[in-house]
Chains A and B, each alone.
Chain A
Amino acid sequence: MRVDRWETLVVALLAAVTVAASLGVDGFANGSNVAFLLLDVTEIALMALTMTLVIVAAEIDLSVASTLGLCCAVLGRLWTAGLPIEAIMPICLVTGALAGALNGLLVTRLGLPSLAVTIGTFALYRGLAYVILGDQAVADLPPAYTGLATQSLGPIPLLTLLVVVLAVAAGILLHATGLGRAVTALGANEEAAYFAGIRVKRIKFWLFVASGTMAGLAALVFTFRYASARADNGVGLELAVVAAVLLGGVSIFGGRGTLAGVVAAVLLLAVVRNALILADVANEVLNFVTGLLLVASVLAPNLKVRLERKPVQ
């Protein structure tokens, strides 16, 4: 398979920025900063994995961060009600799965566009989170788990290992299995995929369930990492997730993209952010730079496709 030039560019940029930051920014290239950087990007990275699959399938899930908030609220509520944390954790994942299933049903059964559906459930799930937990913060979580969430194995945070394992699994799923091929094909041309016997709706439904479940997992990570379950956990993360996926070279129109590119993009955004913060760059500039990268990422691959693709009559 030919290496896509855009993804190579992202990796090169990541390397360049990392080297530049190591040389030019005090405090960037030390173990604790790198560990913090990696840890800090865990939720985005996790949700970006399933978001990649969803966007390759030419859909989108903008409700992931709200699903995360909903799962946090459920967790906080059940914990204050006295349930053991070991029982709450699976409930949390199931909550995410159900939220994803509702998205999936609305998209596949009613044939609604996922952009509209998940903008709706984006508000719905966040609202539900506030209904469940109000604006209270549940902080007295078991230290065994909050500790585990920030634990490292040598220089590498445990959670980063979790991300790596799941990223490899998602990469294999997308690039080396029949299911992944089917996802790519239906994202590129849903009608042809349907004519080839691919169960388009069923696959899309389960992608939304996976996306919701992953948001549930991200909710656990978020809650334990900050030792705080709140209804507003993760506000705005959906944009960071979608941004990373698009920057990673996944086409917003579906049908093309690689998991490696997305992982590189997640890291690139994290490194740029971290380096700029360490360099005491004002927050406004920081957002500006992130935004610039995003516009470039959306423009460049599409521009490339537009130039390469011959006009279709």
Chain B
Amino acid sequence: MLALREVSKSFGAVRALRGVSLDLAPGEAHALAGENGAGKSTLVKILSGVHRPDEGALLLDGEPVEFHGPADARAAGVAVIYQEPALFPDLSVAENVFMGRHPRRSFGRVDRRAMRTRALDLFSRLGVPLDPARPARGLSIADQQLVEIAKALSRDARVLVMDEPTAALSGPEVERLFGVARSLRDQGRAVLFVSHRLDEMFALCERVTTLRDGAVVATDVLADITPDDLVRRMVGRDLAALFPKQPTVPGEVALKVDRLTREGVFTDVSFEVRAGEIVALAGLVGAGRSEVARAVFGVDRRDAGSVHVAGRPLRAGSPTEAMAAGVALVPEDRRQQGLVMDLSIERNIGLTTLKWGLLSRAAERARATDWAIRLQVRYAGLTDAVTVLSGGNQQKVVLAKWLARKPRVLIVDEPTRGIDVGTKAEVHRLLSELAAEGLAVLMISSELPEVLGMADRVLVMHEGRLVADLPRAEATEERVVAAATGRPA
């Protein structure tokens, strides 16, 4: 029905999709599997008309089509149900369903009665009891998704793309959604189901296409494979010997997190990081890893639990105090949280060591120069704004800014995201060296090879809870992925 042929898409130097082909057949539910960053989102965005492929073609019923925007995709019968739909909260459910295509009476007046009966009809076809007259505000996410599905039905969509729809749903809600999806499939529509949850793919879909590093690894009939096969297809990469983790003898406990809880975000998270250790925090995007780091560092509040640094309790909610205790956080969003883009390299590096009184420009420059040399930052001048640097060099400036404080505990959140391979290796070498010098490193990473290559210990989070604590020897790809996707190892 809808097919991709040899589709490639790049963003700058990053090749998000490479020669991807995919066939969606009528009356079939097709799963799309892959790790974070494998290219699933890009593929969905191409199907929904948000992105256009650089190469390759989209075929609709065998004919090449071009989507110049989401409206074209919609007109061609492709509907996308997102994890968190965007409804108009103050309009009624029925008005949301018919948004932009309200049934009309004379003089262009909206025919509310027709709208209501047609909405009721749609919901009864879906088998869900939703009142079309109620406002969309206050609907559960599951119900909002059903409104989106009703919208797609009303438009007679033939291809339904569900982008991680179950991430925020409870068990019974997932069942109900699957019931709806199955009935749509049985009516001859094509369903593409994007998810991290392997059990759900097996429950709903007939075939699965696995992406890895932007390319299709395999398309399998799910009945013929096991979840373990699928995991292997998702992760089966060579673990490059790129990761020069030096063996170290762990020292004293530098960071102790005890039953840390932030309501609705993460629960009862406890772990320790010793001096000289690199501990990785793995898990899927949205599992609550960055949020734990932010609460430890004090930029977010915490509802319960405690944090100790070198045996001393750390007060909640104050990054300034966390820094005084020797904690440093290299945040996830380099441009927004890590750097002041308008300021120069040396001033960004100097930002963490500001005192209130007079600044010594010479001292500031000397310190910036030291760190820039040690981290091999490539720059034209220290007074250049950090905007002119490449992503990798910007990340080095963020690292320099924190290392200038000589921290005891270094938390790095996705330290190599979006930077080139060469710089990546330099960052890895640096982290390894720092650990060897006695720094305690907590590394959040969504890249499995990085996690497995660098870490002395791997913690895995799943849906806000710490579900595994694996020593290096026991941390295999399969076990980490299994824990991250919530399956028993």
Chain A: residues with CB nearer than 8 A to chain B?
1-2, 172, 176-179, 181-182, 184-185, 188-189, 191-199, 255-256, 309-310, 312
Is the CB–CB distance between A197 and B352 below 8 Å?
yes
Is the CB–CB distance between A196 and B299 below 8 Å?
no
Give the residue of B322, B331, B351, B359 whose beta carbon is less than 8 angstroms from that of A193. Answer: B351
Give the residue of B319, B342, B356, B401 whose beta carbon is less than 8 angstroms from that of A189. Answer: B342
- Residue B383 lies at the interface, judged by CB distance under 8 Å to chain A: yes
Would you give the shortest CB distance from B276 to chain A, in whole angstroms? 25
**Residues on A with beta carbons closer than 8 Å to the beta carbon of B320:** 197-199
Apart from A172-B358, A193-B351, A196-B352, 8 more pairs, CB < 8 Å: A178-B355, A181-B347, A185-B351, A189-B339, A195-B299, A196-B319, A198-B320, A310-B387
Nearest CB in chain B to that of A186: its residue:
B340
The 8 A CB mask of B322-366 against A (1 = contact, 0 = none) is: 110000010100011111111100010011101111110000000
Would you give the shortest CB distance from A192 to chain B, in whole angstroms? 5
Could you pull out 28 A-B pairs where Cβ atoms are within 8 angstroms? Answer: A176-B358, A178-B354, A181-B350, A181-B351, A181-B354, A181-B359, A184-B343, A185-B340, A185-B347, A185-B351, A188-B340, A188-B341, A189-B341, A189-B342, A191-B337, A192-B338, A192-B339, A193-B340, A194-B299, A195-B319, A195-B331, A196-B351, A197-B320, A197-B322, A198-B351, A255-B340, A309-B387, A310-B387
Nearest CB in chain A to that of B335: its residue:
A312
Give the residue of B338, B339, B343, B359 whose beta carbon is less than 8 angstroms from that of A178. Answer: B359
**Residues on A with beta carbons closer than 8 Å to the beta carbon of B347:** 181, 185
Nearest CB in chain A to that of B347: its residue:
A181
Is the CB–CB distance between B356 and A197 below 8 Å?
no
Is the CB–CB distance between A182 and B343 below 8 Å?
no
Among B343, B356, B383, B387, the one with the most A-chain Cβ atoms within 10 Å of its Cβ is: B343
| Cα–Cα, bound, A194→B358 (Å) | 21
**Residues on A with beta carbons closer than 8 Å to the beta carbon of B329:** 195
Would you give the shortest CB distance from A105 to chain B, in whole angstroms? 19
Is the CB–CB distance between B359 and A188 below 8 Å?
no
**Residues on A with beta carbons closer than 8 Å to the beta carbon of B331:** 195
Nearest CB in chain B to that of A184: its residue:
B343
Q: How large is the interface on B (under 10, 10 to 19, 20 to 34, 35 or more residues)?
A: 20 to 34
Is the CB–CB distance between A196 and B342 below 8 Å?
no
| Cα–Cα, bound, A294→B320 (Å) | 40
**Residues on A with beta carbons closer than 8 Å to the beta carbon of B319:** 194-197
Nearest CB in chain A to that of B321: its residue:
A197
Is the CB–CB distance between A188 and B343 below 8 Å?
yes
Is the CB–CB distance between A196 and B401 below 8 Å?
yes
Give the residue of B323, B355, B357, B358 whose beta carbon is less than 8 angstroms from that of A197. Answer: B323
Nearest CB in chain B to that of A1: its residue:
B383
**Residues on B with beta carbons closer than 8 Å to the beta carbon of A197:** 319-320, 322-323, 352
Among B336, B354, B355, the one with the most A-chain Cβ atoms within 10 Å of its Cβ is: B354
| Cα–Cα, bound, A284→B353 (Å) | 52
Would you give the shortest CB distance from A11 to chain B, in whole angstroms? 22
Would you give the shortest CB distance from A254 to chain B, in whole angstroms? 10
**Residues on B with beta carbons closer than 8 Å to the beta carbon of A1:** 383
Is the CB–CB distance between B323 and A177 below 8 Å?
no
Is the CB–CB distance between B342 and A2 below 8 Å?
no
**Residues on B with beta carbons closer than 8 Å to the beta carbon of A172:** 358
Nearest CB in chain B to that of A254: its residue:
B342
Nearest CB in chain B to that of A185: its residue:
B340
Chain B: residues with CB nearer than 8 A to chain A?
299, 319-320, 322-323, 329, 331, 335-343, 347, 350-352, 354-359, 383, 387, 401
Would you give the shortest CB distance from B378 to chain A, in whole angstroms? 19
**Residues on A with beta carbons closer than 8 Å to the beta carbon of B299:** 194-195
**Residues on B with beta carbons closer than 8 Å to the beta carbon of A182:** 354
| Cα–Cα, bound, A198→B320 (Å) | 7
**Residues on B with beta carbons closer than 8 Å to the beta carbon of A178:** 354-357, 359
Nearest CB in chain B to that of A192: its residue:
B340
| Cα–Cα, bound, A198→B298 (Å) | 12
Nearest CB in chain A to that of B360: its residue:
A176
**Residues on B with beta carbons closer than 8 Å to the beta carbon of A310:** 387
| Cα–Cα, bound, A185→B331 (Å) | 17
Is the CB–CB distance between A2 and B351 below 8 Å?
no
**Residues on B with beta carbons closer than 8 Å to the beta carbon of A185:** 340, 343, 347, 351
Would you give the shortest CB distance from B259 to chain A, in whole angstroms? 25
Is the CB–CB distance between A255 and B342 below 8 Å?
yes
Is the CB–CB distance between B342 and A188 below 8 Å?
yes
Would you give the shortest CB distance from B447 to chain A, in whole angstroms? 22
Would you give the shortest CB distance from A53 to chain B, in whole angstroms? 14
| Cα–Cα, bound, A193→B323 (Å) | 13
Closest 10 pairs between A and B when the two form their complex, measured CB to CB: A178-B354, A197-B323, A189-B340, A188-B342, A197-B320, A196-B351, A178-B355, A188-B340, A195-B337, A197-B319
| Cα–Cα, bound, A185→B337 (Å) | 12
| Cα–Cα, bound, A193→B358 (Å) | 19
Would you give the shortest CB distance from B326 to chain A, in whole angstroms? 12
| Cα–Cα, bound, A205→B354 (Å) | 19
| Cα–Cα, bound, A172→B358 (Å) | 8
Give the residue of A177, A191, A309 whose beta carbon is less than 8 angstroms from that of B359. Answer: A177
**Residues on A with beta carbons closer than 8 Å to the beta carbon of B337:** 191-192, 195
Would you give the shortest CB distance from B260 to chain A, in whole angstroms? 19
| Cα–Cα, bound, A179→B359 (Å) | 9
| Cα–Cα, bound, A182→B341 (Å) | 14
Nearest CB in chain A to that of B329: its residue:
A195
Nearest CB in chain B to that of A251: its residue:
B342
| Cα–Cα, bound, A197→B322 (Å) | 8
| Cα–Cα, bound, A83→B230 (Å) | 86
Is the CB–CB distance between B357 and A2 below 8 Å?
no
**Residues on B with beta carbons closer than 8 Å to the beta carbon of A196:** 319, 351-352, 401
Is the CB–CB distance between B354 and A198 below 8 Å?
yes
| Cα–Cα, bound, A179→B350 (Å) | 12
**Residues on A with beta carbons closer than 8 Å to the beta carbon of B387:** 309-310
Would you give the shortest CB distance from B404 to chain A, in whole angstroms? 11
| Cα–Cα, bound, A182→B351 (Å) | 8
**Residues on B with beta carbons closer than 8 Å to the beta carbon of A188:** 340-343
Nearest CB in chain A to that of B344: its residue:
A1
Nearest CB in chain A to that of B11: its residue:
A313
Would you give the shortest CB distance from B42 to chain A, in whole angstroms? 15
**Residues on B with beta carbons closer than 8 Å to the beta carbon of A176:** 358-359
| Cα–Cα, bound, A185→B347 (Å) | 9
**Residues on B with beta carbons closer than 8 Å to the beta carbon of A192:** 336-340, 351
**Residues on B with beta carbons closer than 8 Å to the beta carbon of A191:** 336-337
Is the CB–CB distance between A2 and B343 below 8 Å?
no
Would you give the shortest CB distance from B396 to chain A, in whole angstroms? 16
Would you give the shortest CB distance from B366 to chain A, in whole angstroms? 16
Would you give the shortest CB distance from B118 to chain A, in whole angstroms? 41
Would you give the shortest CB distance from A97 to chain B, in whole angstroms? 20
Q: Using A177-B359, A196-B401 as known contacts, say yes or no to A189 and B336 having CB atoms under 8 A apart.
A: yes
Is the CB–CB distance between A177 and B357 below 8 Å?
yes
Nearest CB in chain A to that of B323: its residue:
A197
**Residues on B with beta carbons closer than 8 Å to the beta carbon of A189:** 336, 339-342
| Cα–Cα, bound, A111→B335 (Å) | 23
| Cα–Cα, bound, A113→B103 (Å) | 42
Among A189, A196, A312, the one with the most B-chain Cβ atoms within 10 Å of its Cβ is: A196
